[in-house]
Homo-oligomer: A and B are copies of this chain.
Amino acid sequence: MNAREVELSGHIIDSLILPKVLDVIMDMGGDFKILEFEIGKRKTDPSYARILVSAETPSHLNEILDELSEIGASIAEIKEVELRAAEKDKVLPDGFYSTTNHPTFIFYEGEWRQVQDIEMDCMIVVDPKTKTAKCKPIGEIKKGDLVVVGREGIRVSPPERPRGKKGIFEFMGSAVSSEKPLITTIKRIASEIITVKNNGGKIALVAGPAVVHTGSAPIVAKMIREGFIDVLFAGNALATHDIENALYGTSLGICVKTGESVSRGHHHHIYAINEINKAGSIKAAVEKGILNEGIMYECVKNNIPFVLAGSIRDDGPLPDVITDVVKAQNEMRRYIREVDMVLMIATMLHSIAVGNLLPSHVKSICVDINPAAVTKLADRGSSQVVGVVTDVGAFLPILWDEIKKNK
């Protein structure tokens, strides 16, 4: 008979783990029998379920078990994780396990061990000397790496519903509507930012050029200067238009003060790139007194690291841009491990890029006037990201006011 027991424990009802498990089994045409069930009688009591999952064929059963393991069910009978060596660089052994962005544990040499640097769509590589497991993207796999394969000895821990009232992140959850009280939403985000900073946490800003176009560069500059941003992830466009704005007062040729087109202004971004090329780098331009304000200036002045990742539509690009996207990703990974909160403002490309690298526990807020930007992020697995559909030109000034009031 093609059946196997799985176990669930924790707040599995209201965190939707048990309902999802039953849903997946039925959706996939399998069957179940609940063998044991102890419900947590009170709010803080965990529940426990042991379920016999059955299917028509062994492979059908395996497919169901694969899905269940991603949503938090673990196979009741614990076996050691299975490892197989990569035969070539960037080539994975058959049956390799591809990660989720939730905390993940492998049962290796008799113990559950947490996988480090968890990130979705990656592989788990085990170091037999240190007995540690680490997440690696396929492009970083080296010949001989011991890669986790199969489905035994793997346990995933999806986030649970908090006991009591939901916080800002759970509260806004699926809410991408522009028909909610905006000021209230911003107040809550401001308060979350202050809490993170008061607790010594780190905040990453992911920003697109619309931040500059809409006139909010001075606000982001202030946020950096006053210590609210710990790392900046952006592209050539954000940096170029920020520098254009600092040097010529325009963004994409539009005067940010008057909103009017400026003579030959649409060439200003090329002038800006030329000035930085002359200086050699953004840092050099700041040091030589050429660049005296703006987002990039404040990063340099306040030693805030920035990763400018190249894109195929870049003009220039600036000398600081990492034109190789794989190198840029790895540079982002260096900083992202320490981040406690991410603000994603007006850039679908970079938001999805950062979302891909984030573990599910990192609180993220994605602000865009285009509802599709937020939807796409969630579709791509970054379900921990809270979306706010609004105009960034309004969001940032109001956010800053609220931060100042409360800090």
Contacts and interface: CB of A to CB of B under 8 A. Distances in A.
Interface of A: 13-14, 16, 18-19, 22-23, 26-29, 31-34, 37, 39-43, 63-64, 66-67, 70, 88, 90-92, 96, 98, 121, 137-139, 161, 163-166, 171, 176-185, 188, 210, 213-215, 235, 251-252, 254, 256-260, 263-264, 266-267, 269-271, 273-274, 277-278, 309-317, 319, 323-329, 332, 349-350, 352-353, 356, 369-372, 375-376, 379, 381, 389-391, 393-395, 397-398
Given A214-B182, A277-B91, A379-B179, A270 B121 contact: yes
Contacts of A329: 312, 314
A222 to B, nearest CB: 15
Contact of A181 (B214, B277, B389): B214
A314 B325 contact: yes
Given A166-B27, A263-B63, A266-B381, A214 B88 contact: no
Contact of A315 (B137, B183, B213): B137
Contacts of A22: 13-14
> Which of A317, A319, A372 has the largest count of B CB atoms less than 10 A from its CB?
A372
30 contacts: A13-B13, A26-B163, A27-B165, A29-B165, A34-B42, A37-B39, A66-B263, A98-B270, A121-B266, A121-B267, A121-B315, A138-B316, A178-B210, A178-B393, A180-B393, A181-B259, A182-B214, A184-B215, A266-B381, A310-B324, A312-B350, A313-B356, A314-B326, A317-B326, A371-B375, A390-B393, A390-B394, A393-B394, A394-B398, A397-B398
> Which of A63, A176, A314 has the largest count of B CB atoms less than 10 A from its CB?
A314
A89 to B, nearest CB: 8
A349 B166 contact: no
Q: Which 4 A-B pairs have the closest CB atoms?
A: A394-B394, A182-B393, A181-B215, A184-B259
Given A14-B22, A181-B215, A183-B215, 7 more contacts: A16-B16, A31-B43, A121-B266, A138-B270, A181-B259, A313-B353, A369-B369
A14 B18 CA distance: 8
**Majority secondary structure of chain A interface residues (helix, strand, loop or mixed):** mixed
A112 to B, nearest CB: 22
Nearest to A371: B371
Contact of A325 (B274, B311, B395): B311
A355 to B, nearest CB: 8
A235 B311 contact: no
A217 B16 CA distance: 36
A215 B372 CA distance: 20
B317 A139 contact: yes
A326 B309 CA distance: 12
A14 B26 contact: yes
A334 B98 CA distance: 38
Nearest to A32: B43
A90 B300 CA distance: 23
A342 B314 CA distance: 20
Given A324-B323, A379-B179, A33 B42 contact: yes
A181 B254 contact: yes
Nearest to A268: B98
Contacts of A372: 370-371
A47 B42 CA distance: 19
A42 B37 contact: no
A165 B26 contact: yes
A352 B326 CA distance: 22
Given A23-B14, A171-B260, A180-B259, A34 B29 contact: no
A264 B63 contact: yes
A98 B257 CA distance: 24
A139 to B, nearest CB: 6
A312 B389 contact: no
Nearest to A313: B353
